[in-house]
Amino acid sequence: MIGGWEDIRAEVLRRISTQEWPAGVLIPTEEALAQEFGCARATVSRALRELAQAGVVERRRKAGTRVAVLPVRRATLEIPVIRQEVQARGQAHGFQLLRAERLAPPVPVASRLGLAAQDPLWYLETLHLADGQPFVFETRWLNPAILPAVMPDFTALSVNEWLVKNVSYASGDIAFSAAGATAREAEVLGVAAGAALFITERSTWRAEAAITFVRLAHAPGYRVQTVV
Amino acid sequence: MIGGWEDIRAEVLRRISTQEWPAGVLIPTEEALAQEFGCARATVSRALRELAQAGVVERRRKAGTRVAVLPVRRATLEIPVIRQEVQARGQAHGFQLLRAERLAPPVPVASRLGLAAQDPLWYLETLHLADGQPFVFETRWLNPAILPAVMPDFTALSVNEWLVKNVSYASGDIAFSAAGATAREAEVLGVAAGAALFITERSTWRAEAAITFVRLAHAPGYRVQTVV
DNA sequence: CTCGGCATTATGTGCAGACATAATATCTTC
DNA sequence: GAAGATATTATGTCTGCACATAATGCCGAG
């Protein structure tokens, strides 16, 4: 059967991709489309809202809906927990806590978390393994204020997973980049110094309070992939 | 004022992040929540649908809504056109078409596009500049079947932009990785061979027909960033 | 006890109507 | 003609109702 909001979304997308409605032009109002398709305005609204979320059209009150001039495609990436990512490849996950100490953070880290550089934070180095091979080297700065009185045993449960279980659904930002392996990264991952590594950096807050900053140096060959 | 779907979403998120509703448990039905918040079921439904899209809860008919056990965060990346990306930094965009010829694609490219390796494709090399400095080196394989009889003038309009204007809103996939600069990439970008480069690879289809495969080698320092 | 069909139930979608909101367009005044 | 007040209008949201859909879990036949 036809007429659902998904069909309407598909039809509108078709008219846009065939240039029937070229980039930049106003498309008919919800009411006009509802009449054309013989459905309620809410149904058209739902379809157009989804297209707006995908970046295909831009909507503004009173101004109407227009085809996006610059098709800024939005891709959604899934950011899984490392253990899960390893297991999804059919490999066994393991990890070693290489270092855990209190240190004053370097200035870039402190500023990114919005903390004074003198405040000592927990500094943790963890190496994650896939089938015993180095998979990703995690260096993490952790705000001690968010930890309970007794420090959890991070040799048994990875910091990552402790965090998602205990301070989950915080907000933050992620950045991806490439960098040559530092001496330490080369040593731990077993690659040559300067080898191209995929780097994920993530900082996390909860209600204005900084929680953690983590840098993941992935072993060579790592890719992050998604469909558009 | 309170009571909108965004407030309900926030309240549900609060109950989840404070473990009032721990991971894995069923939360009350839409109807129950609607009664509690004194609103219509559709309003609760809207809030929960958004949370499901964000990966915070999982919903199944009849089974109900439960807090996601493994918080697979979803981050949305914006994939702009290169010119726009350069201009957003306040820099001037320019580009040079370095090569344009018909070649049989190497096997990995052909297989990724689902074409026979013998079919010659267009092979295009473009260097994008930001304020005259190398910004990204684009190597592209283009299916000639989708081009018009007369080849567009890609020295005036970048291939990228010709594509988004003419075969926009196709589907495809994107992958990010890191790799050492090849000899050619090092030469064109003006970096040392083996320098760590951020690589974006993208293949595009339209209705089962392969359109293009493009590899972007970004100049050092490039980051892709988003909020969660 | 096991297997298969059926009733139950929470979500998914749709409709018609209403009011809120924001931005544009128009009108008024100087 | 320019600046500010006002009317208009398309989208944003909500309500209350209805039916569709897909699992679940119960129940009965074997």
User: Running along chain A, 228 residues long, what does each successive block of 10 average in pLDDT?
Assistant: 85 91 94 96 97 93 91 81 90 94 92 84 95 96 85 84 77 92 97 96 85 95 89
Query: Which sign does the torsion angle of CA B81, B85, B88, B93 carry?
Result: negative
Q: ipTM value, please give it.
A: 0.83
Q: Is pLDDT above 70 for B227?
A: yes
CB contact under 8 A, A169 and B17: yes
pLDDT band (50, 70, 90) for residue B53: very high
- Measured between beta carbons, the chain B residues lying within 8 angstroms of A79 are 72-75, 228
- Measured between beta carbons, the chain B residues lying within 8 angstroms of A220 are 178
Cα–Cα distance measured from residue A214 to residue A219, given in angstroms and rounded to the nearest whole number: 16
Bases on strand D under 7 Å from any protein CB: 8-18, 20-24
Q: Which of A73, A174, A225 sits opposite B75 (nearest CB)?
A: A174
Beta strands in chain A (DSSP E): 57-60, 64-67, 73-79, 93-103, 121-130, 133-142, 171-180, 196-206, 209-218, 223-227
Q: Is pLDDT above 90 for B167?
A: no
- Taking the CA of residue B41 and the C1' sugar atom of nucleotide C11, their distance in angstroms comes to 11
CB contact under 8 A, A198 and B180: no
Cα–Cα distance measured from residue B68 to residue B24, given in angstroms and rounded to the nearest whole number: 6
- Taking the CA of residue B23 and the C1' sugar atom of nucleotide C27, their distance in angstroms comes to 59
- Measured between beta carbons, the chain A residues lying within 8 angstroms of B175 are 223-226
Q: Is pLDDT above 90 for B205?
A: no
CB contact under 8 A, A223 and B72: no
For residues B120-137, give the mean pLDDT.
95
* Contact by Cβ (8 Å): A31, A41: yes
pLDDT at B2: 60
B215 vs chain A: nearest CA distance in angstroms? 14
Is B122's CB less than 7 Å from nucleic acid strand D? no
- Measured between beta carbons, the chain B residues lying within 8 angstroms of A205 are none
CB contact under 8 A, B195 and A175: no
- Taking the CA of residue A93 and the C1' sugar atom of nucleotide C13, their distance in angstroms comes to 42
Q: Which domains does chain A have, with CATH numbers?
A: 5-67 (1.10.10.10), 82-218 (3.40.1410.10)
Cα–Cα distance measured from residue A75 to residue B145, given in angstroms and rounded to the nearest whole number: 27
Residue B27, both tokens: 């939360």
- Taking the CA of residue B162 and the C1' sugar atom of nucleotide C30, their distance in angstroms comes to 52
Cα–Cα distance measured from residue A198 to residue A222, given in angstroms and rounded to the nearest whole number: 7
Helix H or strand E encompassing B155: none
For residues B100-127, give the mean pLDDT.
90
CB atoms near residue B15 (< 10 Å): 14
Which carries the bigger pLDDT value, residue A71 or residue B111?
B111
For residues B75-94, give the mean pLDDT.
90
